[in-house]
Amino acid sequence: MIQTTSSVFERELRRLISEERHHIATNIVGGHSITSMEQYREAVGKIAALDMVIDLCDDAQTIVNKTL
Protein backbone atom coordinates (compact mmCIF):
# COMPACT_ATOMS: atom_id res chain seq x y z
CA MET A 1 0.00 0.00 0.00
CA ILE A 2 1.41 3.36 -1.03
CA GLN A 3 1.18 6.00 1.66
CA THR A 4 0.36 9.54 0.71
CA THR A 5 2.18 12.51 2.14
CA SER A 6 -0.90 13.43 4.15
CA SER A 7 -1.15 9.99 5.79
CA VAL A 8 2.55 10.06 6.69
CA PHE A 9 2.10 13.60 8.04
CA GLU A 10 -0.89 12.55 10.14
CA ARG A 11 0.94 9.55 11.59
CA GLU A 12 3.98 11.66 12.44
CA LEU A 13 1.84 14.41 13.98
CA ARG A 14 0.00 11.88 16.14
CA ARG A 15 3.33 10.43 17.27
CA LEU A 16 4.70 13.84 18.20
CA ILE A 17 1.52 14.74 20.08
CA SER A 18 1.63 11.44 21.95
CA GLU A 19 5.28 11.94 22.90
CA GLU A 20 4.63 15.49 24.13
CA ARG A 21 1.61 14.32 26.14
CA HIS A 22 3.69 11.54 27.69
CA HIS A 23 6.47 14.00 28.54
CA ILE A 24 4.06 16.39 30.27
CA ALA A 25 2.33 13.56 32.15
CA THR A 26 5.69 12.19 33.30
CA ASN A 27 6.61 15.61 34.65
CA ILE A 28 3.33 15.80 36.57
CA VAL A 29 3.63 12.33 38.06
CA GLY A 30 7.31 12.67 38.86
CA GLY A 31 6.98 16.20 40.17
CA HIS A 32 9.65 17.40 37.74
CA SER A 33 9.48 21.14 37.13
CA ILE A 34 6.02 21.34 38.74
CA THR A 35 6.46 23.54 41.80
CA SER A 36 3.11 25.28 42.08
CA MET A 37 -0.57 24.71 41.59
CA GLU A 38 -0.48 27.12 38.64
CA GLN A 39 2.15 25.01 36.89
CA TYR A 40 0.13 21.88 37.61
CA ARG A 41 -3.02 23.43 36.15
CA GLU A 42 -1.11 24.60 33.08
CA ALA A 43 0.35 21.13 32.52
CA VAL A 44 -3.04 19.47 32.92
CA GLY A 45 -4.51 22.02 30.51
CA LYS A 46 -1.84 21.20 27.94
CA ILE A 47 -2.67 17.51 28.20
CA ALA A 48 -6.37 18.27 27.73
CA ALA A 49 -5.56 20.41 24.69
CA LEU A 50 -3.41 17.67 23.15
CA ASP A 51 -6.21 15.15 23.74
CA MET A 52 -8.60 17.55 22.01
CA VAL A 53 -6.28 17.78 19.00
CA ILE A 54 -6.24 13.98 18.70
CA ASP A 55 -10.05 13.94 18.91
CA LEU A 56 -10.21 16.55 16.14
CA CYS A 57 -7.85 14.44 14.01
CA ASP A 58 -10.13 11.45 14.55
CA ASP A 59 -13.19 13.55 13.59
CA ALA A 60 -11.44 14.83 10.46
CA GLN A 61 -10.45 11.28 9.48
CA THR A 62 -14.05 10.12 9.92
CA ILE A 63 -15.30 12.94 7.69
CA VAL A 64 -12.68 12.18 5.02
CA ASN A 65 -13.53 8.46 5.06
CA LYS A 66 -17.22 9.23 4.56
CA THR A 67 -16.48 11.35 1.49
CA LEU A 68 -14.25 8.77 -0.22
* pTM to 2 decimal places: 0.84
Q: What is the pLDDT of residue 32?
A: 78
Give the span between the Cα atoms of 60 and 66, in whole angstroms.
10
pLDDT at 6: 85
Domain around 55: 5-67
The mean pLDDT value for 24-49 works out to: 93
Q: Is 1's pLDDT higher than 80? A: no
Provide mean pLDDT across the span 28-45: 92
Nearest to 43 by CA among 25, 19, 20: 25
Q: How many domains is the chain built from?
A: 1
Distance CA 44, CA 28 (A): 8
Give the residue among 48, 52, 47, 60 at the shortest CA–CA distance from 10.
60
pLDDT at 49: 98
**Residue of 48 and 3 predicted with greater confidence:** 48
